[in-house]
């Protein structure tokens, strides 16, 4: 729910609350007119509609925590509304008949007041759910990568080709196992020092010193081939081509 929608629902809630208060005030007035002319009788007669108004306010304002508690308070509100409707109906019927209304009109007029109270109560409870909805602002702007964005109808071919190329993959060679990883690390360290390790050096780094199977020599060829077309080849950073220390096994 946006801020504008939240403000709209807040204004609507106040309007519904005013309608409900008007219906309760009419019911209270009829109950007081029907009661005896003493404060105690008038207070007793006016209490049921006021209790209904307070119950509806509590149901619409208190957040929902547990479903069974919510069901319990809604049932209690329905009971309170039934009592208030029954008492107010017969009180308003008696008042309407006393002041000259016909029998049918005297029995129909209370329904308009009780119906207004029921509608206002349901609307106020329903709007209470929107009030608890968190307010969210507009979504953050999406950043578009110009390197992957297709050129628009007004973008020239020169603008499209002027975009920078994506960087080269960080991983030039992926070792196939633990021994290969050890030899590749030793080969990179030697290249960084300015001299390419030999096959024997790589075999020794993998824990296979004196191995005549040629594992180190084949590893040197693999690493050279992997870095042959790389723009950031280690020997290019040192300014020379790789040289081998000694003969490979």
Q: What is the pLDDT of residues 5-48, one digit of tens each?
A: 777 877 888 888 898 889 889 888 988 988 888 889 889 888 88
The whole-number average pLDDT for the span 92-102 is 88
Residues 12 and 118 in one domain: yes
What is the span of the domain harbouring residue 223?
178-238
Residue 157, pLDDT score: 47
The whole-number average pLDDT for the span 77-81 is 83
Task: Give yes or no for residue 71 having a pLDDT over 60.
Answer: yes
Mean model confidence pLDDT for the chain: 75
Residues 101 and 218 in one domain: no
Task: Give yes or no for residue 232 having a pLDDT over 60.
Answer: no
Residue 171, pLDDT score: 61
Residues 53 and 126 in one domain: yes
Residue 246, pLDDT score: 45
Task: Give yes or no for residue 167 having a pLDDT over 70.
Answer: no
Note whether residue 59 is domain-resident: yes
pTM of the model: 0.44
Residue 149, pLDDT score: 52
Q: Which of 72, 100, 131 finishes a domain?
A: 131
Residue 231, pLDDT score: 53
Note whether residue 156 is domain-resident: no
CA 105/CA 97 separation, integer angstroms: 8
Note whether residue 43 is domain-resident: yes
Residues 127 and 225 in one domain: no
Note whether residue 205 is domain-resident: yes
Note whether residue 243 is domain-resident: no
**C-alpha angle 7-49-16 in degrees, rounded to nearest 5:** 15
Look at the chain and report how many structural domains it folds into. Answer: 2
Residue 72, pLDDT score: 86
Residues 125 and 50 in one domain: yes
Q: Which of 98, 131, 164 finishes a domain?
A: 131
Residues 124 and 188 in one domain: no
Residues 96 and 188 in one domain: no
Higher-confidence position of 246 and 48? 48
Residues 102 and 209 in one domain: no
Residues 126 and 52 in one domain: yes
CA 63/CA 60 separation, integer angstroms: 8
Residues 9 and 125 in one domain: yes
Q: Which two tokens stand for residue 115?
A: 């119906």
CA distances from 203 to 134, 193, 222, 244, 249 (A): 64, 19, 14, 14, 9
Residues 43 and 113 in one domain: yes
Note whether residue 214 is domain-resident: yes
Residues 200 and 107 in one domain: no
Note whether residue 204 is domain-resident: yes
Q: Provide the pLDDT confidence category of residue 138 given band limits of 50, 70 and 90.
A: low
Note whether residue 55 is domain-resident: yes
């Amino acid at each position: 729910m946006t801020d504008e929608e939240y403000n709209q629902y807040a204004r609507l809630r106040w309007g519904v609350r005013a309608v409900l208060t008007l219906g309760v005030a009419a019911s209270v007035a009829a109950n007081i007119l029907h009661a005896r002319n003493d404060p105690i009788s008038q207070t007793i007669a006016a209490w049921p509609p006021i209790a209904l108004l307070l119950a509806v306010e509590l149901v619409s304002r208190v957040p929902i925590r547990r479903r069974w508690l919510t069901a319990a308070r809604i049932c209690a509100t329905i009971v309170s509304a039934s009592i208030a409707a029954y008492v107010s109906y017969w009180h308003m019927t008696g008042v309407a008949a006393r002041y000259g209304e016909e029998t049918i009109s005297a029995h129909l007029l209370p329904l308009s007041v009780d119906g207004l109270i029921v509608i206002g109560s349901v609307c106020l409870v329903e709007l209470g759910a929107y009030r608890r909805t968190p307010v969210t602002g507009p979504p953050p702007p999406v950043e578009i990568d110009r390197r992957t964005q297709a050129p628009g109808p007004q973008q020239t071919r020169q603008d499209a080709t002027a975009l920078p190329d994506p960087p080269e993959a960080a991983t030039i060679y992926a070792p196939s196992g633990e021994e290969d990883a050890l030899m590749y690390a030793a080969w990179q360290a030697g290249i960084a020092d300015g001299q390419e390790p030999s096959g024997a050096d790589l075999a020794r780094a993998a824990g296979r010193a004196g191995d005549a199977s040629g594992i180190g020599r084949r590893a040197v060829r693999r690493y050279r081939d992997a870095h042959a077309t790389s723009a950031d080849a280690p020997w290019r950073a040192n300014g020379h081509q790789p040289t081998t220390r000694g003969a490979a096994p």
